[in-house]
């Protein structure tokens, strides 16, 4: 077990063993500032010496893996479950606002297109913005407890340019399939032979437009596979609903979100880019680790052929809403839901009871609460919290629990490396 250390000014230092942290606390030279992950703050000056720490992140639309390596050891690894309920929550909020508008209350004007955020250039959908913020939040939390020297982030599953040209390097990436075309629009028109691709038997206009098969408002991207050439007449008729373009809708929602997220991360974060095929090779052939998001992050941190000492624990994190909109339930809202504190506890508080330790999932006025792990597994359906209950941590938008990591597939160097 490691304890993360901050100097007296709150700047991160290298972590220490739990035994050393215990001695510092007992001698009054440090104080506890966080329980999970266990972090102490020195009360006196220190040399401030730090070592080279490499952090890696495995991006995703459902889960994010993160890890940090120093001196050939894994000193941090986490897996974050992202929110997938943002769109549903916004629809729920709109429904509650509509019902309030119909009651005998003060006049509440309708609001939809008068919001500046909807007209802002480069606006992201709230569900995507939540996931982008979650990636940056995890980066900030890691940098708050560790002196990170360098970041590596997986941005794509494969390097398509390297497939077509294996010897490509540096500036060669700028001379790809679009070289010689003015822009993507010209490339699409050339690919479609400067002809309307609507398939309609009608007189086509000579002026051509480039159309998004899946609208950007619906998660579509500027990828070449999502663009098609249409004449001006067909393009206008399509948008007013005179005909439908026969296009197979993509079912890869998460792949589309990943593309958008990675493009946004490149704009607001300076990191070294890596690819999924490299991560998979190092995880399977070099490290012999099972497929998890945090082990992918460990593989991202490693150099080619580098072996590291694995950590035994992983921080499981889950992002949740800051509150709930629903206040009552039942056919006629006859049953009021206790959204505030009940017996001194709120939903998602981390508590220790004689029946088990877990997060509060559901509250009852009888004092018997439902508890769950951070992964959603049941701890106890009806734990008595009125006696011998300790609240370990209060509810936050990032729930954290320390758990055991998955067992590595092998503990020896694979034969592919032994030959070398």
Question: How confident is residue 420, by pLDDT bands cut at 50, 70 and 90?
Answer: very low
Phi and psi at 341, nearest 5°, equal: -80, 140
Asked if residue 140 belongs to a domain, the reply is no
Task: Report the predicted TM-score, pTM, of the whole model to 2 decimal places.
Answer: 0.74
Model confidence band, residue 419 (pLDDT cutoffs 50, 70, 90): very low
CA distance 193 to 180: 16
Is 61 domain-assigned?
no
Give the structural domain span for 38: 1-49
Q: How high is the pLDDT of residue 297?
A: 95
Distance CA 369, CA 68 (A): 37
91 within a domain of the structure (yes/no):
no
Q: What average pLDDT does the segment 147-153 reach?
A: 95
Only one residue has tokens 């500036």, namely 171
- Tell me if 59 sits within 8 A of 258, measured CB to CB: yes
**Which residue is it, tokens 């197979």?**
248
What is the average per-residue pLDDT within 309-326? 86
Is 34 among the domain residues?
Answer: yes
Q: Where are the alpha helices (DSSP H) in 282-403?
A: 293-301
If we measure between CA atoms, which residue out of 261, 294, 297, 300 comes closest to residue 278? 300
Q: Whole-number mean pLDDT of the chain? A: 84
| Strands 368-372, 378-384: pairing kind | antiparallel
27, two tokens:
């001698």
Q: Please indicate, yes or no, if residue 172 is contained in any of the structural domains.
A: no
- Beta bridge pairs of residue 55: 68, 151
Instruction: Give the CA diameter of the chain.
Output: 87
Q: What's the structural domain count of the chain?
A: 3
Q: Would you call 275 helix, strand, or coil by DSSP?
A: strand
Indicate the DSSP class of residue 21: H
Q: What torsion do the CA atoms of 43, 48, 50, 55 make, to the nearest 10 degrees?
A: 60
CA separation, residue 262 to residues 132, 197, 273, 303 (Å) = 9, 30, 10, 22
| Residue 419 within any structural domain of the chain | no
Q: Is the pLDDT of residue 414 over 60?
A: no
How many residues are listed for the chain in this entry? 420
Per-residue confidence (pLDDT) for residue 184, from 0 to 100: 74
- Which two structure tokens, joined as six digits, stand for 78? 């986490």
Task: Report helix, strand or coil for 385.
Answer: coil
In a domain, 145, yes or no: no
- Whether 420 is covered by a domain: the verdict is no
Choose one of 196, 217, 251: the last residue of a domain: 251
Give the separation between CA 226 and CA 67, rounded to whole angstroms: 34
Inter-residue long-range contacts of 32-36, CB under 8 Å, 24+ positions, other chains counted: 33/6, 34/4, 34/145, 35/392, 35/393, 36/315, 36/393, 36/400, 36/401, 36/402
Examine the fold and report which residue of 197, 221, 251 is the final residue of a domain before the chain moves on.
251
């Amino acid at each position: 077990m490691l304890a993360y250390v901050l100097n007296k000014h709150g700047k991160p230092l290298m972590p220490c063993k739990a035994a050393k942290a215990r001695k510092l606390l007992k001698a009054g030279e440090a104080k506890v500032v966080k329980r999970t992950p266990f972090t102490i703050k020195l009360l006196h000056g220190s040399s401030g010496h730090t070592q080279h720490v490499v952090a890696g992140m495995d991006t995703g639309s459902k889960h994010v893996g993160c890890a940090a390596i120093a001196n050939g050891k894994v000193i941090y690894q986490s897996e974050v479950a992202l929110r997938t309920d943002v769109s549903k929550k916004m629809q729920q909020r709109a429904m509650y606002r509509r019902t309030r508008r119909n009651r005998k209350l003060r006049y509440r004007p309708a609001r939809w297109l008068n919001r500046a955020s909807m007209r802002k250039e480069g606006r992201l959908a709230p569900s995507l913005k939540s996931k982008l913020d979650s990636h940056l939040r995890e980066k900030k939390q890691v940098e708050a407890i560790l002196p990170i020297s360098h970041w590596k982030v997986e941005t794509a599953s494969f390097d398509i340019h390297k497939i077509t040209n294996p010897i490509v390097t540096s500036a060669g990436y700028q001379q790809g399939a679009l070289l010689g075309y003015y822009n993507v629009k010209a490339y699409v028109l050339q690919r479609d032979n400067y002809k309307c691709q609507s398939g309609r038997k009608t007189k086509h206009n000579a002026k051509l437009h480039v159309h998004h098969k899946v609208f950007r408002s619906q998660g579509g991207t500027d990828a070449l596979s999502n663009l098609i050439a249409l004449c001006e007449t067909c393009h206008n008729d399509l948008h007013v609903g005179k005909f439908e373009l026969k296009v197979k809708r993509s079912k890869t929602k998460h792949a589309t979100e990943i593309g958008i997220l990675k493009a946004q991360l490149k704009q607001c974060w300076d990191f070294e880019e890596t690819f999924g095929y490299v991560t998979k090779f190092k995880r399977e052939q070099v490290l012999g680790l099972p497929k998890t998001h945090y082990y992918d992050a460990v593989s991202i941190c490693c150099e080619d052929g580098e072996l590291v000492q694995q950590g035994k624990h992983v921080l499981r994190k889950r992002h949740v809403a800051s509150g709930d909109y629903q206040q009552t339930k039942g056919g006629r809202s006859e049953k009021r839901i206790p959204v505030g504190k009940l017996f001194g506890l709120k939903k998602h508080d981390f508590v220790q009871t004689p029946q088990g330790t877990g997060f509060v999932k559901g509250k009852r006025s009888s004092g018997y609460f439902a508890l769950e792990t951070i992964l959603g597994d049941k701890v106890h359906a009806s734990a008595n919290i009125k006696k011998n209950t300790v609240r370990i941590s209060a509810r936050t938008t990032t729930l954290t629990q320390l758990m055991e990591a998955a067992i590595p597939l092998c503990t020896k160097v694979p034969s592919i490396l032994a030959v070398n």
